[in-house]
């Protein structure tokens, strides 16, 4: 099974310091949904792993998160893409849960749920904690410079082997072109 694990805010959609609290605030980064469609066309299962501490902080509720994700699913679908599953951590930053990135709990749950080996699976994020969680689970970390990505790059300390791309579209292009080369 070909699998890729994406962060949501700052990778698929524009991030906001005020949190994405409504479907109206969820706006895709240009090219990101098309990139998800290319992944699907190339046989990838696309899974999202996202920290959503706004729930734990009472800024929005589960019903709202579900409506935001419904909008994201629909937007991907309309461009020929598919998001196979969304895993989220609803807990506040101080909750000491096992699922909030940089902890690898969500990645472990993805591996269990999909019965997948995460070793070498590409994971794409814009924050250090996305890359750390993925690396801890055996994934190959890829940083995009959208969202908090430039700040993350400038602060450094990235997990070993982290590749850096302008945005999700460029990261996916790299992944798929590498695959074509490996097939030859």
By CB under 5 A, name the one of 4, 5, 7, 65 that touches Mg ion.
7
Residues 92-121 that bind Zn ion (CB under 5 A): 97, 99-100
Q: Is 126 in the site for Mg ion (CB under 5 A)?
A: yes
**Long-range contacts of residues 129-133, Cβ cutoff 8 Å, at least 24 apart:** 129/51, 129/101, 129/102, 130/7, 130/49, 130/101, 130/102, 131/158, 131/159, 131/162, 132/101, 132/102, 132/159, 133/49, 133/101, 133/102, 133/103, 133/104, 133/106, 133/107
Stretch that binds Zn ion, among 24-32, 91-99, 123-131, 133-141 (CB under 5 A): 91-99
| Stretch of residues binding Mg ion (CB under 5 A), selected from 72-80, 84-92, 97-105, 118-126 | 118-126
9 assigned to active site: yes
7 is known as an active-site residue: yes
Q: Which residues are catalytic?
A: 7, 9
- Positions in the binding site for Mg ion (CB under 5 A): 7, 9-10, 126-127
């Amino acid at each position: 099974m070909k699998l890729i694990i994406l962060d949501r805010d700052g990778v698929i959609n524009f991030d906001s310091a005020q949190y994405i609290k409504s479907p109206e605030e969820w706006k895709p980064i240009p090219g990101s949904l098309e990139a998800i469609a290319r992944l699907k066309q190339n046989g990838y299962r696309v899974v999202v792993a996202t920290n959503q501490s706004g729930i734990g902080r009472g800024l929005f509720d589960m019903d709202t998160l579900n409506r935001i994700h419904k909008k994201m699913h629909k937007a991907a679908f309309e461009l020929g893409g598919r998001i196979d599953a969304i895993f989220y951590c609803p807990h506040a930053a101080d909750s000491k849960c096992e699922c909030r990135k940089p902890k690898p709990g969500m990645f472990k749950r993805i591996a269990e749920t999909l019965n997948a080996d995460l070793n070498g699976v590409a994971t794409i994020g814009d924050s250090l904690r996305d890359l750390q969680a993925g690396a801890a689970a055996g994934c190959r970390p890829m940083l995009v410079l959208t969202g908090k990505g430039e700040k993350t790059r400038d602060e450094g300390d990235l997990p070993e082997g982290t590749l850096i791309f302008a945005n999700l579209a460029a990261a996916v292009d790299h992944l798929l072109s590498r695959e074509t080369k490996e097939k030859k």
